[in-house]
Amino acid sequence: DRPNAGILPDFNNFGRYDRYEGVTKSLPYAPAVCAKALKFDDEGNETKTDYYRMLRIIHASDFSGVITIEFEGGGIDPVEGALMTKKLLLKAIKAAREG
């Protein structure tokens, strides 16, 4: 229980553990969340994480921290991947707010 320590949930770092449950359980201890993307489908959605579901979880919680963006995929320029992650994240945030 130290104010300067916390957990950084990362959408794509839960291995076999359910990522949605992991983020839900760790949000109360998180000063930030990492929206990591690895690969996108043809519609611009991340293939491993349902960003819309994840942002509904975050929006429904008491989380008021920072959401960082990380692209760790291959096959496209890293800057383009980060910008695609940002675009998806903003769409998912808007959808979560609108309910």
- Residue pLDDT, tens place only, 15-27: 899 999 999 999 9
Residue 60 lies in a domain: yes
| 62 pLDDT tier (thresholds 50, 70, 90) | confident
CB atoms within 10 A of CB 54: 23
Domain of residue 59 covers 19-98
- Measured in degrees and rounded to the nearest 5, phi and psi for residue 70 equal -140, 135
In a domain, 3, yes or no: no
Per-chain mean pLDDT for the chain? 94
Residue 71 token pair: 């692209």
Interior CA angle at 97 toward 40 and 83, to 5°?
30
Confidence of residue 3 (pLDDT cuts 50, 70, 90): confident
Does residue 79 lie in a domain region? yes
Q: pLDDT of 66-94, one tens digit each?
A: 999 999 998 999 999 999 999 999 999 99
Please name which of 34, 92, 23, 22 lies closest in space to residue 66, comparing C-alpha atoms. 34
- Overall number of domains in the chain: 1
Q: Give the dihedral of Cα atoms 22, 48, 50, 81; nearest 10 deg.
A: 110
